[in-house]
Amino acid sequence: MNVPHKIRIDVETSYLGDQSDPREQRYVFAYTITIRNEGGQPATLLRRHWIITDANGGVKEVRGDGVVGEQPRLEPGQGFRYSSGAVLETPVGTMQGTYQMIDAAGEPFEAPVPMFRLAMPGILQ
């Protein structure tokens, strides 16, 4: 069976110590996301929605068009990789969200981004 919408999302994260200032409660993280279309038809990423939670329970929501200024169209089997960043007030936090996408027939659908952790090295065992 041909699955129309199967978007795989992989995330890598890193702590940017040179841009962080723990005395000022500023912890900067980079993340690289690979989006792969494993479905049976083209899909275009239109918008993103992030929920960023710090260790104090503070929540920020970020919504916007595309990712890094682009709205990539992914043919079946094709991937798109980009890097971005987040600033937290605590050395540990999480991100999760969704990509709002549209298929070749004009049908909108969401691709969930599973929760991933942002953590300063050595803070979690």
The DSSP symbol for 77 reads T
pTM of the model: 0.91
Q: In this model, does residue 3 exceed pLDDT 70? A: no
Give per-residue pLDDT as tens, 28-69: 999 999 999 999 999 999 999 999 999 999 999 999 999 999
Single-letter residue type at 97: G
For domain 7-119, give the fold. Immunoglobulin-like (2.60.40)
* Average per-residue pLDDT for the chain: 94
Q: Provide the terminal-to-terminal Cα distance of the chain, rounded to the nearest Å.
A: 42
Give per-residue pLDDT as tens, 5-17: 899 999 999 999 9
Q: What angle do CA 4, 6, 7 make, to 5 degrees?
A: 135
Residues 6+ apart with CB under 8 A from 59: 51, 52, 53
User: CB-based burial of residue 27 (10 Å sphere; 0-12 exposed, 13-18 middle, 19+ buried)?
Assistant: buried
Domain spans, the chain:
7-119
